[in-house]
Structure 1
Amino acid sequence: MKKLRFLVIGKNIEILNILVRLLKVEEGWSCAAFSDEQELLATVDFMEYDILLLSSGLDEEIEKRIQKIGIELNPQLRIILHYGGGSGLLKNEILSLSSDMAS
């Protein structure tokens, strides 16, 4: 499977921890997770990541701001809006994006 680097942000710590655990299960996948958008925007180099995964609890305006900044700094960045639905749905969302990245 393709090596992927994820940047994950969400306000629900329990869900954030689950997402990190699910992402780290796959060989070659790595991730950084944040629950504070100010910390993310102040410290993250978006060029280091392939996929930005937005999870639950973020204000819509903040989501749009993070997406805009991420794409401006890394035009190759792919974005997943994942608000639940289980690990199968998440994996399918990722595999769908990663197949697009290969082409």
Structure 2
Amino acid sequence: MQTTILYIGRDPEITIVMNRLLNARPEWKGICVCTDEEAILVFKKEAVDLVLLGNGINQECEQALRSELEAIKPDVKIIQHYGGGSGLLYGEIMSAL
């Protein structure tokens, strides 16, 4: 069974890299977006198991986004990911799951 991971970041270039990294593993389905609006639409349509918050999201936006996502699916795991190698990413995801 695939784990669906929603990555939300503000930098389009990093978002492309995250999409490649998340979808490189057959057990993961990565969906990567750059805006909160896109994130909410995806979150409502897909069975998301984990949300990764990337760099560029200020504290106010993060709190609003967390509140909105948790209102839709209260048990969703939301973690921050601000970079690092693919090994760090894998470790963060596996720890969260």
Report the TM-score range of the alignment, normalised by the length of the smaller protein.
Answer: 0.7 to 0.9
Secondary structure of residue in 2 paired with 1:11: coil
Structure 2 runs not aligned, ≥5 long: none
Q: Give the structure 1 partner of residue 32 of structure 2.
A: 33
**TM-score with structure 2 setting the length:** 0.87
Q: CA deviation at 1:89?
A: 0.9
Mapped to 2, the partners of 1:30 and 1:73 lie a distance apart of: 20
What do the CA deviations read for 1:9-33 (whole angstroms, capped 9, x no partner)?
Answer: 1111111111111110111311222
Moved over 3 A (4+): none
Counterparts of 1:1-103 in structure 2 under 5 Å?
3-41=2-40, 43-44=41-42, 45=44, 48-98=47-97
Structure 1 runs not aligned, ≥5 long: 99-103
Q: Give the structure 2 partner of residue 101 of structure 1.
A: none
Mapped to 2, the partners of 1:46 and 1:60 lie a distance apart of: 26
Two-structure CA RMSD over aligned residues (Å):
1.6
Secondary structure of residue in 2 paired with 1:95: helix
Mapped to 2, the partners of 1:14 and 1:35 lie a distance apart of: 10
Secondary structure of residue in 2 paired with 1:6: strand
Q: CA deviation at 1:80?
A: 1.6
**TM-score with structure 1 setting the length:** 0.83
